[in-house]
Chain A
Amino acid sequence: MIKFIKEHGTYIKSNNTNSKIMRDVLIALTPIVLFAFYKNGYIPYTKGLISLYGLLYPLIMVLVAVVSSIFFEMSYYYVIHKRHFKELFKTTYSFMPGLFLALILPINTPLYLVVLGSFFAIIFGKMLYGGFGQNIFNPALIGRLFLVVSFPLVMASSSAYFNPFERQTYDGITSVTPLANTFLNQGYTYDDVVRPYGSMLDFFFGNIPGSLGEISAFLILIGLAYLIFRKAVKWRIPLMYILTSSILLFSIAMFKDFDLSFVLFHLLSGGLLFGAAFMATDPVTSPVNKWGQVLYGIFLGILTIALRFIMKSPESVMISILTMNIFVYFIDQYAIKINFNFNKILKPIIAIWLLMIILPLYITTTFNKVESKVTIIDKQINSNVYVYRASARGYVDNIVLDIKIVEGTIEEIIIVEQKESFIARIEDANYLNQIIQNQDNLKELDAVSQATYTSNAIKEIVMYVMEDYNNER
């Protein structure tokens, strides 16, 4: 007896499924994870610099992050909602925030911090909003935000981002990622900013220090191309994000007479490409409408460049994505009107146009190489002994030094007044003696690690005083 069964819906279905989309994302991320293992585990291991545990550490970090995120999500469901997790595991994709979190953390993050970040990412970034499909903020970025705020020294120190092989190679660098390095030199020259880490090709293929996943632009672009080919990503967002950032960077470079390397450098560092390709395109937290996606990408670009150059924050990508996540609901509501009446797009376009003109102009006016203004307060001359008292601005406030020069050589430097936070490091490193010993080629002398502004200020005062002394003679 044949039964005739009634159903609603269409009677042919496409073969898209949620699992296929997630599988494509995993395939796109695999080369990045393997490259992280190769660069941070395999190469130092072959040079004999780390143990077997260090060889596998990148993979262990990814594994720990994924397992802990699955564990926290399933425990939350079990404890709070009393639901069994076998069926949930297939539909809520709890490994995704863990995997992304591991890829945006520094390479030497201790494992307990990875677990803690995973806890915060899952509970505060996803579950408290109602689970899969209901969260407002990107969970991996929430986890990273929490770690950066709670453990700033661990996350920002050079020991977090450099693997032992890099520590050997980049001997002269005392700061951390290439982007943090630029905030020290107020201007931009290729030699200051790119050359210490290699050539622009190194930046493109990923031979620079940084977090696990954000460094290899080449692999990120390949992953993005694969996802676009499989129609598994909202491609308008990374396109408009990178386009807007490039246009703004080009304008700044034009006004300040920098060359093309400025644009390339800023596009390839700071995790911009990874954020644009994988973090901003998270389907749950980005707009559904196509014009909404375009506006979202453009505003992301504007915010990132503004935060990077006006606020000088190395976390500009993370902050801008989290900020725009708040507005996704409103963007969707506005963009549906654009569907019906295309002229409604004029209002945002005018706002964007104004911002893109004003922003580069404003940035160029504040983007100056701040000449360390050294002022000589006092100069005492006793036959051939000169004692200068000079001051300049350090990291917090003015530093005042007494410098005694006898017959053309500096004999003594005394710090009279300072309010620096990390003056202990200067004292620990015996920096003043170093200056006296290296007084003939002070330019080559490195600043003290973790106290760069202070050391540079002291160096500037001494050099200025030397010059004045030589001019007098």
Chain B
Amino acid sequence: MKKIKDLILKENAIFNLALGLCTSLAMSNKVENAIIMGFLVFIILLISNVIISLFRKLIPDNVKIPVYILIIGTIVTISEILVQNYIPVFYKAVGIYLPLIVVNCIILGRALSHASKNTVFSTIKDSFKIGIGYIIAIVMIALVREILGAGTLTLMDSTSALTGFRMVYQVLPKGFNLVFFQSPAGAFIALGLLLAFLKTKKEEVDANN
């Protein structure tokens, strides 16, 4: 339990490091999209950081950044092609934002700060931490945005083709939703509110320790 609390409050990519905000805000209008995007970012983070960590001794310092971007770009393009062909439902849901993962600061940020200096095993641990923290964070934002903004809770809509059943729950009665939270401005405000709330929680936890 403490580990999960740490993941959200202490070392979270979105809430503490404020990285990767563009994809998290764009894709959090439905919980399902958030899960898909989070999962994809996690996989790509894991693979690219492992590769970078493997080659960390071979890449000279002054060409570090272009080489990392090259690696990440390649991996993203490969995964885009794979997703497009083998899991077309994912592509329909988040397809447009897939290439954006290249510039998602989480991957490059963790590459520069962790993967370029640590062993492969440590990188795998770190990617898991950051990736799962990212999934939790983006799902939290999506929960706020979707429940308040559309009144529904979508767990399996576009992906129902894969599993065969739909999971869309109407949480608020129709007409009582605030469309505002589905818009980009609402996304920022939801993120801001979550940040404020979690920061107070963090201070409480710190004060207790």
Contact = CB atoms under 8 A, between A and B. Distances in A.
- Contact between A and B in the complex (any CB pair below 8 Å): yes
For the residues of B in contact with A, the DSSP-based class is helix
Nearest to B178: A150
Interface in A135-163: 146, 149-152
Interface in A141-190: 146, 149-152
A146 B183 CA distance: 12
Contacts of B178: 116, 146, 150
Nearest to A148: B180
Interface in B179-196: 179-180, 183, 185, 189
Interface in B159-209: 178-180, 183, 185, 189
B190 to A, nearest CB: 12
B127 to A, nearest CB: 35
A154 B189 CA distance: 23
A124 interface: yes
B189 A151 contact: no
Contacts of B189: 124
Nearest to B179: A150
Interface string A98-116: 0000000000000000001
B11 to A, nearest CB: 26
Contacts of B185: 149
Count chain A CB atoms within 10 A of each CB in B179, B180, B183, B189 and give the residue with the most.
B180
Interface in B71-100: none
A116 B189 CA distance: 16
A152 B178 CA distance: 11
A149 B184 CA distance: 12
Contacts of A152: 179
Interface in A78-123: 116
Interface in B120-168: none
A426 B37 CA distance: 42
A149 B181 CA distance: 10
Interface size class of B (residues with CB under 8 A): under 10
A150 B181 CA distance: 8
Highest count of chain A CB atoms <10 Å: which of B178, B179, B185, B189: B178
Contacts of B180: 146, 149-150
A299 B183 CA distance: 29
B181 to A, nearest CB: 8
A445 B144 CA distance: 48
A175 B179 CA distance: 24
A111 to B, nearest CB: 14
Contacts of B183: 149
A6 B157 CA distance: 74
Contacts of B179: 149-152
A117 to B, nearest CB: 11
Contacts of A124: 189
A134 to B, nearest CB: 16
Nearest to B189: A124
Contacts of A150: 178-180
A150 B176 CA distance: 10
Contacts of A116: 178
B158 to A, nearest CB: 25
Nearest to B196: A128
A81 to B, nearest CB: 12
Nearest to A123: B193
Nearest to B183: A149
A235 B30 CA distance: 49
Nearest to B200: A80
Contacts of A146: 178, 180
Nearest to A149: B180
A151 B189 CA distance: 18
B173 to A, nearest CB: 12
A314 B185 CA distance: 21
Nearest to B177: A150
A374 B178 CA distance: 40
A124 B196 CA distance: 13
A116 B179 CA distance: 13
A121 B194 CA distance: 19
Nearest to A80: B200
Nearest to A124: B189
A124 B190 CA distance: 12
Nearest to A146: B180
Contacts of A149: 179-180, 183, 185
13 contacts: A116-B178, A124-B189, A146-B178, A146-B180, A149-B179, A149-B180, A149-B183, A149-B185, A150-B178, A150-B179, A150-B180, A151-B179, A152-B179
Interface of A: 116, 124, 146, 149-152
Given A146-B178, A146-B180, A149-B185, 8 more contacts: A116-B178, A124-B189, A149-B179, A149-B180, A150-B178, A150-B179, A151-B179, A152-B179
